[in-house]
Structure 1
Amino acid sequence: MSLYLEHFSLHEPPFRITPHTDFFFSGANRGPTLEALIFAITQDEGIVKVIGEVGSGKTMLCRMLLERLPDHVETLYLANPSLSRQEILGAIADELGIPVEGKATHSLIRALQDALIARYAAGKRVVLLIDEAHAMPAESLEEIRLLSNLESKANKLLQIALFAQPELDERLAANDMRQLRERITQHFNLVPLKPQDVASYIDFRLRTAGYHGPSPFTEPAIKLIATISEGLSRRINILADKALLAAYSLGKHQVDSAEIRAAAKDAHFSPLQNKSTPNLKSLLWGVASASLVALMLTLAFQFSSRISPPSGTPDNLSNQITSAPGKNLRPSLTPPVAETPANIRFGPLTRQHFEQFDDWIDEAPRRHYFIQLLDTDAVNTGEIEGFLSRAIKSLDPAELRAYRSSLSGRDRVGVIYGDFSSRETAAAAMQTLPETIKAAQPFPRQVSRLH
C-alpha cells in the first residue's frame, strides 16, 4: 500500500471504507443535514430518525455528530443493535457509569432515571445514538419507546437518534409499532449522491489525502463510477480504491473506464433493491397477529406513513416508566396516513415563515422572481427547521419565506428568499449569497410558478 500511496503522491489512503471524520464530505447536502441534525437533537422533544441505504454514509454522519455536538451534550453510542431489552438498559447504564450487577429491570430503570435527572439539573443534555437500528429486536425497539418517556416537566431527559436502513420504515409501518412511530418527530433521509456530486466527492477525498494536481480520474471514469455505485459513498470508495490500485499495477497515473470496469468486476456489487415495492417479510417483523387482509391494506400505504408526535405524555419523574397513552390510535385495518397537515409537526421557525409567505404571496406580482433556497419533502421537518435557523443568521429574516405545496404530487416544503423585478436581478442577488447558503444550490424562479 505504501507504494500505491507514493505512486499517486498521497499521504494516506483516500478511499478507505471505515468512517474517518477528516474525510466527511459536506457537499450533496451532507453538511446542511449534519447541522440540521445537531439542531434537532439539541432543541427537539422527540426521537430523531435518519434513514439511508447500505453504504450511504449513516455511520460517518453518526461519528460526525459525536464530534460536533456541543460540550454540554453527553453522547451515548450503541453500535451493536442486536442487544436484548435488558442488555440495552445495561449498555446505557454502563455508559452513564451506573453499576448494573444484581439490579432487576425496574431498579435499573430507576437508577437510569436518577442519573439523567442529575445531569439535567447540572445543565447537561444526554443523547443516545443508535446505529443500525433496523436490526434491533422488537422488544428492544419497545424499550427505546419507554426510555423516550423519561422527562422533566418541560424537557425530555434522554434524546434518542436512530440511524437505520429503509427496513426500519417498513417495521415502523406495522400496527403494533404505532406508539414508537408517533414519538419520532424528525425524519431525515440520506439519499445517494447525484451523478454531478460524485466528481466533487472523489476530488475532495483525494485532496484531503494529500493529492495535488489534476484529477487522476477521467470524466468517463467518474461517470462510470456514478452509474455502477448508484451514488452510494461506500461503493464509490471501493471502486475508486480498486481502480487506483489497478492503474498503479499498470504503471499509469490516470484512471480510465477500463480500470473502473475491472474494479466493478472484482467488487461484485448487487443491484439495490427496489424500495418502492415493500418487502413482505420485513413488514411481518414484529407483528404478533394480523389478518392477511390487514397486511395487504397496510402494504399499499406503509412507505408514506408518518404519524404525528404524541400530544401528551406523563411529566412526573416519580412515575414508573409506562407506555404513554396515545391519541387517535387507528384500528388495525386502517393504514397510517402521512400526508395530512395534522400529521406533521413543523418547528416554530417553519411556522413563522409559512405565515410570512401567506402575507406576501397575494400581493407579489406574478412576473417577479425569487430565489429558491430549499425544496424538500414535508416530513423532513428537522432539515427545514435547521436550514431556516442557519439562514436567518446570514440573510434578512423578513425576506425569508416557507411554503407548502403538493403540485408535484408529493407533499413538499420550499424555502425562498427575496422579491425581484426580473430574473437578472434575482440571479445577481444569488451571487451575493453566503457560501453556506450557496451549498444548497439555489436558483431563481418566477412567482407565477407558485400559483
Structure 2
Amino acid sequence: MNADTQVSSHYAPSPHGMYLRHFGLRTAPFGITPDPAFFYRGNTRGELLDALLYAVTQGEGIIKLTGEVGSGKTMLCRMLAERLPPQVDVLYLLNPCLEPDEVLHAIAAELGLELDGCRADAVLRALHGELIARHAAGRQVVLLAEEAQAMPGATLEALRLLTNLETASHKLLQIVLFGQPELQHTLDLPQFRQLKERITHSFTVPRLPQALLNDYLACRLAAAGRMAPLVFTPSALRRLAHAAQGIVRRVNILADKALLAAFADDAQEIGARHVRLAIADSPFHRPPWHAGKLVAGALSALMLLLAAALLWQWLMPGQAAVPRTPRPAQPAPSTLLDSKLAESRGWLARQGPQQLVLHITSLPATETAAAEAFLQQAQQAIGLRDLHVFRLPGAASANAAERLDIVYGSFADRASAEAVWARLAPTSPQKILLNDIGSIRTEMKAVTPAQTGRGAP
C-alpha cells in the first residue's frame, strides 16, 4: 500500500453526487425540500391542489388545510403559489409565533409598505388603503400562513379581523391556513367560534398508503431523471411503509438512505437489507431496548464502525489490551478467524487486480484473540459477506512481524470506494486507506507456506 492510495482525511465527497451516476439520475430524488418539480399528484394531492386553486380564486372566507408533520403541506403551499393566476399577489406568513401587532407589520412588509414604528391602528389603515388600491388595479391578494397551529390565539383573532377588510362585493384579503391537526383542535374551542365560522373550505392531507408507495417512489425517481424503473423489492416496500407510517417526509429520508446503502453494495435494486439499514440510521428510529447500543452503533457507518472502534480501543496505547495469545505450534481448532482467512483467499482469487478495497485496520498476527473478537462483533453487527482478512508479511525490515489485514468491500473505482468511506469518515477513529487487489496478491506471495501453516493462495 503506498501513499497515493490513501484517502485524504479532508476530502468528503457528497454521498448524493456519488450515487446519482450509479442509478442514472440527474439530481437527488428524495430531498426533503418542497421542490415543485417533484410534486406527486397521487393520493388526492392533485385533487387537493385543484380544490385549493378553486377556493382561492373564488375569493371568499378563510381556507384551512391540515395534515400530519411531514405529510406534504408545504409542498401544496408552494404548488398553490406557483399555479395561481398572474393577477394574484401571494404573501407569506412564515413565522407563526408573532403577536397581533407584529403580524400586521409582517403583512405590511410583504406588501412593500415601510411602516416601522407605526402604531397598530396606523398599520391597519395603511393595509386597508393598499389592498383597496390593488383591488382597483384588478389584483387579488392571498396570504399563505404556515404552521398555523402554533399561532397565539390573539394572532388568529387578528387574522380573522383582517377578513373584514372588504368592498361591497369582494374580500380584499384571502387567507389560507396550513397547519397540523392541532389547528382543528384549537378552532373547536368556544373562543374561536367566530373564526371557525369564517372557514369556507377545509381540507386534510391524507397519509400515503402502502398501495401507492411504489408509485410515489417511481414518480420521484422519474422526476430526478431515472429512465427505467428502479426496483424496490416487495419486502423492501413493506419495511419502508411500516417505518414511514404514510408520512412522505419519512419516505424520502428512508428512500435516500436506502439508495446510499444499495450504492455501497453496488446493487441496482433496493432490498429489505438496504431499507433496514436506512431505518436504523434515521432520526425517528427508536430501536427496541434490548437492541440498544449495538444496533445504533453498528449502523452509524454502514454497520462497520462498531467493531472497528472496539478494536481501535484495544490497540491504542494506554488502553487495556486484550491478552496476547501466542500462536500455537500446532493448528488450533477451527475458529471464525481460520475460516475467514481461508474464505478470503478464495475471494481474492476471483477479484480483478484493479478492484479496490477499504483497508480497515491491521494488527500483529499473534493477536488472534483480538482478531477473533473483532470478527465475532462484526458478524453480529453486519455479517461477514463484505469483510475479508489476509495474513501478510510486515514491512521490509529484518525484524518485520507478520500481520493480519482486515479490509471491506470490492469497488470498481475510487469514486465508489470514497462514497462508502465518506460514511465512515465523520466518526471513524482512524484513517481509512484504499488498497487494490493486485497489491494484496503481491504481498501475499511473500508469505511462505511455513509462515501461514497453509498452502500459498
TM range (shorter): 0.5 to 0.7
How many residues of Structure 1 are paired with residues of Structure 2 in the alignment? 271
2:56 is matched with which residue?
41
1:254 is matched with which residue?
269
Given the alignment of the two structures, is residue 241 of structure 1 paired with residue 246 of structure 2, yes or no? no
Secondary structure, aligned partner of 2:281: helix
Given the alignment of the two structures, is residue 106 of structure 1 paired with residue 121 of structure 2, yes or no? yes
Q: CA RMSD in A?
A: 1.2
- What displacement does 1:270 show? 6.5
Query: For 1:219 and 1:77, how far apart are their aligned partners in 2?
Result: 41
Query: For 1:162 and 1:74, how far apart are their aligned partners in 2?
Result: 16
Indicate conservation of the 8 Å contact 2:87/2:138, yes or no: yes
Structure 1, unaligned stretches of length 5 or more? Answer: 272-451
- What displacement does 1:268 show? 3.9
Given the alignment of the two structures, is residue 226 of structure 1 paired with residue 247 of structure 2, yes or no? no
- What displacement does 1:102 show? 2.6
1:57 is matched with which residue?
72
Secondary structure, aligned partner of 1:267: coil
Question: Which TM-score applies when normalising by structure 2?
Answer: 0.58
Question: Which TM-score applies when normalising by structure 1?
Answer: 0.59
Given the alignment of the two structures, is residue 188 of structure 1 paired with residue 195 of structure 2, yes or no? no
- Residue identity in the other structure for 2:81: L
After TM superposition, the structure 1 stretch with the greater mean CA deviation from structure 2, 137-146 or 208-217, is 208-217
Moved over 2 A (4+): 268-271
Indicate conservation of the 8 Å contact 2:70/2:249, yes or no: yes
From 188, 193, 200, the equivalent of 1:173 is 188
TM-superposition CA deviations, 1:390-415 (whole Å, max 9, x none): xxxxxxxxxxxxxxxxxxxxxxxxxx
1:136 is matched with which residue?
151
From 20, 23, 27, the equivalent of 1:12 is 27
Query: For 1:64 and 1:41, how far apart are their aligned partners in 2?
Result: 13
TM-superposition CA deviations, 1:151-208 (whole Å, max 9, x none): 1111110000000000101111111111111111110000111211111100000011
Secondary structure, aligned partner of 2:177: strand
Query: For 1:199 and 1:252, how far apart are their aligned partners in 2?
Result: 18
TM-superposition CA deviations, 1:270-299 (whole Å, max 9, x none): 79xxxxxxxxxxxxxxxxxxxxxxxxxxxx
Share of identical aligned residues, percent?
50
1:119 is matched with which residue?
134
After TM superposition, the structure 1 stretch with the greater mean CA deviation from structure 2, 51-60 or 178-187, is 178-187
Query: For 1:102 and 1:19, how far apart are their aligned partners in 2?
Result: 35
Query: For 2:118 and 2:228, how far apart are their aligned partners in 1?
Result: 61
- Residue identity in the other structure for 1:167: E
TM-superposition CA deviations, 1:122-170 (whole Å, max 9, x none): 1111000001111111111111111111111111100000000001011
- Residue identity in the other structure for 1:119: R
From 27, 42, 54, the equivalent of 1:27 is 42
Given the alignment of the two structures, is residue 157 of structure 1 paired with residue 172 of structure 2, yes or no? yes
Secondary structure, aligned partner of 2:131: helix
Bigger Rg, which one: 2
Given the alignment of the two structures, is residue 80 of structure 1 paired with residue 99 of structure 2, yes or no? no
Query: For 1:86 and 1:269, how far apart are their aligned partners in 2?
Result: 37
Secondary structure, aligned partner of 1:36: helix
Structure 2, unaligned stretches of length 5 or more? Answer: 1-15, 287-457
2:223 is matched with which residue?
208
